Amino acid sequence: MKFILFIYILFPSMLMASNLSDSNKLFNFAESLYPEFFSPAGASSFEFDDYLVRYYSETNNYIGTKKNGEVYVYGDIFNGLLNVGILSDYVELDTDGDELLSELFNERASDVQVQGKGVVIVILSDDLKGSRHQRFVIRLASRQTLLIAHNIDLAPRISNLSLNDSIEFFGEYVWNDKGGIIHWTHIDPAGKHIHGWLLHNDIIYQ
């Protein structure tokens, strides 16, 4: 089966990401390589029981990962539910996100895809200039602070956000003198930018 070849042979390189971004990059790669199984590309990821899943309406197939890292596909072409391995077989897990973010801040670097986790310490008003952005500040375990600018014209707002809430993120880092900004926490409708996301209370916003 072609998908088995995809899983076991055709990964050209190891991808670095967090657990969620591992799954999303795996899904994106499957979409680009096997559109006959996984179309349309750019479907939203969602949580279902212990799975992170994408459903493809044109082909009526699913691809998903369990929280323990197992990878599954589901559909008639796969004769139902098929386990095709585990994420760690194919994807190199990310190094410490806080360490990378500290390096980017010290080097005044920008436009770098990053992932991490922090706690909400300030909730700001929305930025209404141009595309609307929900804004809040998080503090990492390293004590570095980041402004999250989440595009709510392209992604759902986190409606129940509170101080001290935990936030996981996958987006693009932009340097500033306060610690940095994270944006692109959403799906790119044009498909030209890496899809980002926020995770709050086990719900993915992208």
120-124 CB contacts, 8 Å cutoff, 24+ apart: 120/161, 120/162, 120/163, 120/164, 120/165, 120/166, 120/167, 121/145, 121/163, 121/164, 122/163, 123/161, 123/162, 123/163
| Rounded Cα gap, residues 12 and 153, in angstroms | 35
| Rounded Cα gap, residues 196 and 113, in angstroms | 9
Name the one residue in this structure whose structure tokens are 């809040």. Answer: 136
Residue type for position 174: V
Written as tens digits, the pLDDT of the chain (206 aa) is: 444 444 433 333 333 334 576 787 788 878 877 899 999 988 888 888 888 899 999 999 999 988 778 899 999 999 999 998 877 665 655 556 888 899 899 999 999 888 899 999 999 999 999 999 999 999 999 999 999 999 999 999 998 999 999 999 989 999 999 999 999 999 988 888 888 999 999 888 99
Scanning 34-187, the segments in alpha helix (DSSP H) are 97-106
Sign for the CA dihedral angle at 24, 28, 31, 34 comes to negative
pTM of the model: 0.61
| Rounded Cα gap, residues 68 and 71, in angstroms | 9
| Rounded Cα gap, residues 54 and 131, in angstroms | 27
List of domains in the chain = 2-93 (no CATH), 97-205 (2.40.50.140)
* CB of 168 closer than 8 Å to CB of 18: yes
